[in-house]
Structures are given as structure tokens and as C-alpha cells.
Amino acid sequence: MNREEDGGDEVVCLDESFFINDDYQLTTFTFGSQVLHLFCLQSASTDFDLTGQLVWPGAMLMNDYLSKNPDVLQASSILELGSGVGVTGILCSRFCREVLLTDHNEEVLKILKKNIEHHTSSENPNSDAGLAVAKLEWGNSDQINKIIQKYPGGFDLILGADIYILYNRSLLMTSFFQAI
């Protein structure tokens, strides 16, 4: 936080650390017979785009489905978009051979990596699936090309729950007015 004097008035400028809450709690998630212990927030602000710090309802629904239908994942390679804390990708790692979890936010990537380390070291040390993390901002061709180079065979399944694309508002409005 910075304080500036501007003609007698005090102006408080908040940097990004003001919005970051990293008070993660180890939380238990159960999907069928699968139990996951992950660090996450129990609630979060959508300020500073940190929505990936907690588990959203869409991921819970998808994980429930996947735990009841593990044959969908058997021996496959998975790319997960917008992985957040990793609840879906880590669950998938119990059934498939390879999972690449992606997110675009550096703070979210930190907790994602911590959860993968926690999972592979304490919960399931004999997991056959390779878990990896990559930064992926949608539309960033450099990041996409790095993933393609590292995984030239592609993926059998691409998953994403509770994900969105934030469009540039002026571009969206321009497109809207051109359409009418």
C-alpha cells in the first residue's frame, strides 16, 4: 500500500497484494470412493481475478460425474482448462495416465502446484498419472505453442468447469453495434 500527498489530500493507492488472500485451509472433498485433501479458500472475492482459489459448484458436479464414470478417463491424457486449485485434474489423475492442469493467474498457479505436491507426496504416492502444470492464458499463442511442443500427441480429453472468457468491453460493444 502506498500513500501519496496530493495538495494536502492523502491518497491511498492499493497494490495487488491488498486483494490477495492466501489463508488456504486443507479441505476434504469426497467423490464416490475418492477422497481428496486440497488447500483452498472457503470464500473469495472476484477482485483481482482470483476466482481459482476456491472450488466452484460446476467442478463439484463434474467430479461427481467422473467418479461415477471412471471408464471415461481410463488410460487417457487430459488437458484441464482453468484448473484453479486442481480438484478436477487431481481426481482425474487417479484414473488416467497423464494430466496437464492449466490456469492463467500466477497466484492460483502457486496453490495449484502446492496441491499437486501435497497430493503426490502424501495422498497418493503410487499414482500412475503424470501431473503437470502450465500457465495458459487463452489466446496466448506462445503458451499454446509450448504446450503443443511438449505434448505433440495432443490430449484425449479437454475438461473445464466454471470457466469463462473475459472479453474486452469496447471490442464487444464495437462488435455488437456492427451487427445491428
Query: In this predicted model, what pLDDT tens digit does every residue of 127-165 receive, in sequence order?
Result: 546 899 999 988 889 999 999 999 999 999 999 988 866
Alpha-carbon Rg for the chain in angstroms:
19
Residue 56 lies in a domain: yes
Q: Is residue 165 domain-resident?
A: no
Q: What is the CATH number of the domain that holds 27?
A: 3.40.50.150
pLDDT at residue 176 is higher than 50: no
Is residue 176 included in any domain, yes or no? no
Res. 78: pLDDT tops 70: yes
* Cβ pair 65, 58 in contact under 8 A: no
Write down the pLDDT at residue 128: 46
Least confident of 53-57, 59-63, 66-70: 53-57
Total structural domains within the chain: 1
- Assess if residue 81 is contained within a domain: yes
Instruction: For residue 173, give Cα distances in angstroms to 49, 73, 119, 149.
Output: 22, 40, 44, 36
* Among candidate residues 121, 118, 70, the one with its CA nearest the CA of residue 91: 70
In this prediction, residues 24-49 reach a mean pLDDT of 83
Q: How far apart are CA 121 and CA 143, in angstroms?
A: 28
Residue 47: band (very low, low, confident or very high) from pLDDT cuts 50, 70, 90: low
Query: What local confidence, expressed as pLDDT, does residue 36 receive?
Result: 95
Q: Does the model's pTM come out above 0.85?
A: no
Chain segment 86-127, per-residue pLDDT in tens: 999 999 999 999 999 999 989 899 999 999 999 887 555 555
- Structural domain boundaries, residue 41: 19-159
Q: Where is 12: in which H helix or E strand? A: strand 9-13
User: Is residue 114 domain-resident?
Assistant: yes
